[in-house]
Amino acid sequence: MFDIGFWELIIIAIVALLVVGPDRFPDFARQAGKWLAKFRRLINNLQREIKQELSIDEGKVFKQQLEELDGLMKNAPDQDPDFSDSLTHVDKKNTKQ
């Protein structure tokens, strides 16, 4: 997540040990672990909610597009037999050329 290697973690621990002191370091490390766990849960929940919202929005857009297509299909005139014959005639005429 943060791309922290082993040696960076050791350096952070040594600096924290010097700043906090050896007597309060275990409590500090425990508290830091709890905060890190809360932060990870927060990030995971946020990612899950964003993915859920995106899927809902995509579904709404897809439903709207289907409704528009359905409206176009209902409003489209029925195919006239003379019209399909003229299309066949045009196709035959274009293939002869």
Who's near 43: CB < 8 A, 6+ residues apart?
1
The 10 Å Cβ neighbour count of residue 17 is 14
Contact between 70 and 62 under an 8 Å Cβ cutoff? The reply is no
Q: Would you give per-residue pLDDT tens digits along the chain (97 residues)? A: 567 788 898 898 899 889 988 899 899 889 989 999 999 999 999 999 988 888 887 888 888 888 888 888 787 766 555 555 555 555 455 555 5
What predicted TM-score, i.e. pTM, was given to this entire model?
0.48
What's the token pair of residue 87? 């299309």
What's the token pair of residue 24? 């309060």
Contacts from 86-93 at CB under 8 Å and sequence distance 24+?
Answer: none
Measured between its terminal Cα atoms, the distance across the chain in Å is: 66
Q: Where are the domains of the chain?
A: 26-74
